[in-house]
């Protein structure tokens, strides 16, 4: 059997018919189905990339000394992380790579269980399937039925934008340590928290001052409009990070030298992040209001770069209803069996396309 046959169908391939219908709208398609950034990559990032373009040698998996310090500085300055040193950080080829490969890199197998969010980005499940592990979907440690080896949490979450409370994060940390599991927090949307504060698992308010068993996974794709760079990092328990680094060296999981230089520039600058956050906040307010006027209910959506909406009917029906208005969205069924009545709308389209979508919804 081919490996691809053991995995779910790639969900976005099923939107072809709805996309074709949306493209027929006189005003053109407003594609809100994927979270692909469209705003400019900051000039300081582009300049740093160009300045490092002369890179004939291989990069290190661990990351340059400058990048490791930039990661530590960012996580300490922005997310109140404590106890990080250079042994506690390493690079990642974007967040999706880590989500997909972490169960395998931790040597999990068919007798192990991975806990993933009940409603989740599909790659959490794919990563577990690749490692042939068992999977349990759960949003609260008090409800976990298994003895997991790895637990994924995501806050602010994709697709529904829920932000985990400080209490919930503390309980996940306590549960993971009780089970001897690695708790991996996908924090790639952390900069986009609107209705509640976001926390990192590396914050001592969450972890009691210990990094034991904890990983924070970050991407610069959304924060700095660097999705095309494939730039991310892992930070946390030095023992776990060191094991990942040792394995990743063998597999050649390297971020290119110019991209590492660009990451340093991005992580050292907070102003461009504030600008991007304001862009998404404005689009969020406009689209949210229009959806509600059109009869949708917005659930969760306290953060991230999405709105999680329902008409109280099948999500696929909402996909078709919106496609008739030239708006393409992702059905909730992409994100697990418990979300079939919702759709996810991305805020990553241009201001003009978001405004056009809002006008159609009101019209």
In this structure, what is the dihedral angle of CA atoms 71, 253, 154, 261, given to the nearest 10 degrees? 30
Query: Tokens 């996810």 map to which residue?
Result: 344
Task: Select 3-40+272-362's CATH number: 3.50.50.60, 3.90.1150.10, 3.30.360.10, 1.10.10.10.
Answer: 3.90.1150.10
Strands (E), the chain: 30-31, 89-92, 113-116, 134-137, 150-154, 182-186, 214-219, 232-236, 297-299, 306-310, 327-328, 330-331, 343-346
Tens-digit pLDDT string for the chain (363 aa): 666 666 666 776 788 999 999 999 999 999 999 999 999 999 999 999 999 999 999 999 999 999 999 999 999 999 999 999 999 999 999 999 999 999 999 999 999 999 999 999 999 999 999 999 999 999 999 999 999 999 999 999 999 999 999 999 999 999 999 999 999 999 999 999 999 999 999 999 999 999 999 999 999 999 999 999 999 999 999 999 999 999 999 999 999 999 999 999 999 999 999 999 999 999 999 999 999 999 999 999 999 999 999 999 999 999 999 999 999 999 999 898 888 899 999 999 999 999 999 999 998
Whether residue 146 contacts residue 134, with contact meaning beta carbons closer than 8 Å, is answered with yes
Is the domain covering 43-269 a CATH 3.20.20.100 domain? no
Domain segments of the chain as ranges: 3-40+272-362, 43-269
Q: How far is C-alpha 272 from the geometric centre of its chain's CA atoms? A: 19
């Amino acid at each position: 059997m081919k490996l691809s046959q053991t995995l779910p169908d790639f969900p976005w391939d099923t939107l072809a018919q709805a996309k074709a219908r949306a493209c027929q709208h006189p005003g053109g398609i407003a594609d809100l189905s994927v979270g692909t950034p469209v705003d400019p990559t900051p000039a300081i990032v582009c300049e740093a990339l160009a300045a490092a373009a002369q890179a004939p040698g291989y990069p290190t998996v661990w990351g340059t000394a400058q990048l490791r310090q930039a990661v530590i500085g960012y996580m300490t300055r922005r997310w109140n992380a404590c106890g990080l040193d250079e042994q506690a950080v390493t690079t990642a080829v974007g967040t999706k790579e880590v989500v997909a490969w972490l169960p395998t890199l931790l040597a999990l197998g068919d007798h192990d269980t991975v806990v993933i969010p009940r409603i989740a980005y599909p790659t959490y499940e794919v990563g577990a399937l690749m490692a042939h592990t068992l999977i349990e979907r759960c949003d609260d440690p008090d409800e976990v039925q298994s003895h997991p080896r790895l637990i994924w949490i995501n806050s602010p979450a994709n697709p529904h934008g829920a932000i985990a409370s400080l209490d919930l994060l503390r309980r996940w940390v306590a549960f993971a340590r009780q089970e001897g599991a690695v708790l991996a927090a996908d924090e790639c949307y952390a900069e986009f928290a609107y209705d509640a504060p976001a926390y990192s698992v590396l914050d001592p308010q969450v972890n009691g001052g210990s990094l034991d068993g904890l990983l924070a996974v970050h991407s610069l794709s959304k924060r700095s409009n660097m999705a095309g760079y494939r730039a991310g990092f892992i930070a946390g328990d030095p023992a776990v990070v060191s094991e990942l680094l040792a394995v990743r060296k063998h597999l050649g999981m390297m971020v290119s030298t110019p991209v590492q230089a660009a990451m340093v520039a991005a992580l050292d600058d907070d102003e461009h992040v504030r600008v991007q956050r304001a862009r998404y906040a404005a689009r969020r307010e406009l689209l949210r209001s229009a959806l509600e006027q059109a009869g949708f209910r917005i659930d969760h959506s306290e953060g991230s770069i999405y709105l999680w909406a329902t008409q109280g009917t099948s999500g696929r029906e909402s996909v078709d209803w919106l496609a008739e208005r030239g708006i393409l969205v992702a059905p909730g069924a992409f994100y697990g069996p418990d979300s079939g009545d919702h759709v996810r709308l991305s805020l990553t389209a241009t201001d003009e396309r978001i405004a056009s979508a809002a006008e159609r919804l009101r019209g």
